[in-house]
């Protein structure tokens, strides 16, 4: 089974549906053929899946959303600076 390429973005539930029918060997083989950007995205998603039931992680997400809801946001200038730094680092 081929992992869909970036021309067809999928949400996390679609990825779960695809990956639940693949063996670890198949997942590794397909992941090794992904480009850097897609591989980083997939790694982040796997990291999220590994932590999704951890109470401390869930609490940190709640705290982050609460901070955003209360107005704690990044300025456009701070975002642009961070984006430039990430681009320069190759992320």
* Residues 59-89 pLDDT 10s: 999 999 999 899 888 889 999 999 999 988 8
Give, in order, the Cα–Cα distances in Å from 58 to each of 44, 79, 87. Answer: 16, 25, 29
Taking the model in full, what pTM does it have?
A: 0.49
- Continuous H helices in 7-75: 12-19, 24-32, 36-51, 55-69
State pLDDT tens for residues 28-69. Answer: 898 899 888 888 888 988 898 899 899 999 999 999 999 989
C-alpha to C-alpha distance for 44 and 55, rounded to whole angstroms = 19
């Amino acid at each position: 089974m081929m992992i869909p390429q970036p021309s067809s973005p999928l949400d996390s539930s679609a990825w779960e549906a695809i990956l639940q029918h693949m063996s670890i060997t198949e997942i590794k083989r397909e992941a090794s053929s992904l480009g850097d950007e897609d591989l980083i995205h997939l790694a982040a998603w796997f990291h999220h899946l590994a932590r999704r039931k951890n109470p401390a992680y869930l609490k940190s997400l709640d705290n982050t959303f609460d901070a955003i809801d209360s107005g704690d946001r990044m300025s456009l200038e701070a975002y642009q600076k961070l984006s430039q730094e990430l681009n320069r680092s190759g992320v």
